[in-house]
Amino acid sequence: MLNIKKTKLHVASALLLGSLMGASSMSFAETLKLSHNGDTKSPVHKALKFFADEVQEKTDGDLKVRVYPNGQLGTQRESLELLQSGALDMAKSNASELESFDPAYGAFNIPYIFRDREHFYRALASEDVGQKILSSSEKYGFVGVAYFDAGSRNFYTSKPVHSPADLKGMKIRVQPSPSAIKMMELMGASPTPLPFGELYTALQQRVVDGAENNIGAVTTYRHGEVAKYYTRDGHAMIPDVLVISTKTWEKLSDKNKAAVLAAGKDATAYMKKIWGEYTEEELKKATKMGVEIIDVDKDPFIKAVAPMFQEAEQNPVIAPYVKAIKALDK
Ligand code: GCU
């Protein structure tokens, strides 16, 4: 079942109009449903609205995108399953979540694989890395459209963390991703996979002692109300990814496919611009909320997770990407 609504004209009257005008084919506006788990105040929601506007403009209104925020259509995992069955058209997820659906995304999830933001952007734009990974999942039921900056991920916890030793015995929420679980075990914490939407309550009720994410989780999602320490160890830069169901993709005209990809590229650039400003603002807000920002020596964290890098180099699916990412580190 495909969620494409015929919104421009009623089918019967369009056919009648078509035959009256002698037109051999009529075009209908299609509306694609796009699900994501972010807040309407988040930069990613703005980037997705921007994407939707661009698609409409580039197709002269032939293709529309309706954005459903706040996990209204399900968790990230559920959205991906709906995408695979064709019951949903598009979703914004991230490389961590997608790793369980297409192992190629695991290349982005190796801790400390990116030196800095520029290295990260070079990898996303590279034909041998980012662009190849976007098209690697067609056989798994979805196609990658675009990447979005989601900053760097850091711990936020109910007690201060200065080194991996402080994480011992702490229950830390992770995304349902093999790499995230492995990373947490190597750092000495006990990983607890949970959907993002359940995290505030889990922190509040001390089901978990902490989590890890960009600073927006602390402010926009108010996790800083229930976890007062933010440790800037910068263990990962996990891109957000906009994907489309293979079933929907195959039904789009070549012109509309090109418009979707071009809108995706523009949305990536738009997000790059707004993300930097957002992060600076949110850091100030976190401090105002009474969250202590802890800067640490990253070396012990890097050492703890080093085995993941060696393992990745032996993994036939991700090794070529990992090698290519390293080669871009100049
Ligand atoms: C980031 C990411 C989300 C993801 C979340 C998480 O905020 O943008 O897509 O759901 O991390 O940790 O679950």
Tens of pLDDT, residue by residue over 73-86, are 999 999 999 999 99
Read off the pLDDT band of 28 (50, 70, 90). low
pLDDT of residue 29: 82
- Mean pLDDT throughout 296-310? 97
Tell me the mean pLDDT in the region 225-238: 98
**How far lies 174's CA from each of 64, 98, 158, 324, in Å?**
34, 14, 15, 27
For atom 6 of ligand 1, the residue with the nearest CA is 196
Query: Quick one: how many helices (H) and strands (E) in the chain?
Result: 14, 12
The pLDDT of 199-217, averaged and rounded, is 98
CA pair distance 145, 261, nearest whole angstrom? 6
Nearest CA to ligand 1 atom 13: 196
Categorize the per-residue pLDDT at 16 as very low, low, confident or very high, splitting at 50, 70 and 90. Answer: very low
Q: Measure the CA–CA gap between 231 and 295, rounded to whole angstroms.
A: 6
Q: What rounded mean pLDDT belongs to the chain?
A: 93
Residue to substitute in 36, 37, 41 for testing ligand 1 pocket (most ligand atoms within 8 angstroms of CB): 37
Going through the chain in order, the beta strands assigned E by DSSP cover: 5-6, 30-35, 63-68, 90-94, 142-148, 153-157, 171-174, 190-193, 210-213, 229-236, 240-245, 292-295
For the stretch 309-325, pLDDT in tens is 999 999 999 999 999 99
Give the span between the Cα atoms of 266 and 273, in whole angstroms: 11
Q: How far is the CA of 196 from the centre of ligand 1 (A)?
A: 6
CA-to-CA separations, 222 to 20, 197, 217, in angstroms, rounded: 58, 12, 7
94 CA to centre of ligand 1 in angstroms? 7
Cα 254 to middle of ligand 1, angstroms: 31
d(CA 135, CA 41) in angstroms, rounded, equals 30
Report the percentage of the chain scoring pLDDT > 90. 91
Name the band, by pLDDT with cuts 50, 70 and 90, for residue 27.
low
240 C-alpha to center of ligand 1: Å? 8
Q: How far is the CA of 198 from the centre of ligand 1 (A)?
A: 12
State how far Cα 216 lies from the chain centre: 14
Please list, residue by residue across 294-315, b when 16 or more beta carbons sit within 10 angstroms of its beta carbon and e when fewer do. Answer: bebeeeebbebbeebeeebeee
Task: Find how far residue 242's CA is from the centre of its chain.
Answer: 7
Is the pLDDT assigned to residue 33 strictly greater than 50? Answer: yes
- Cα(10) to ligand 1 centroid in Å equals 39
Torsion of CA 174, 179, 182, 184, to 10 degrees: -40
Query: For ligand 1, what atom is nearest to the CA of residue 44?
Result: 8
Q: What pLDDT, in 10s, does the model give residues 130-186?
A: 999 999 999 999 999 999 999 999 999 999 999 999 999 999 999 999 999 999 999
List residues near ligand 1 (CB under 6 A): 37, 76, 93-94, 150, 175, 196, 213, 217, 240
Can you tell me the distance from the alpha carbon of 140 to that of 84, in angstroms, rounded to the nearest whole number?
7
Q: Which helix (H) or strand (E) holds 319?
A: helix 319-327
Residue 19: pLDDT band with limits 50, 70, 90 = very low
pTM of the model: 0.92
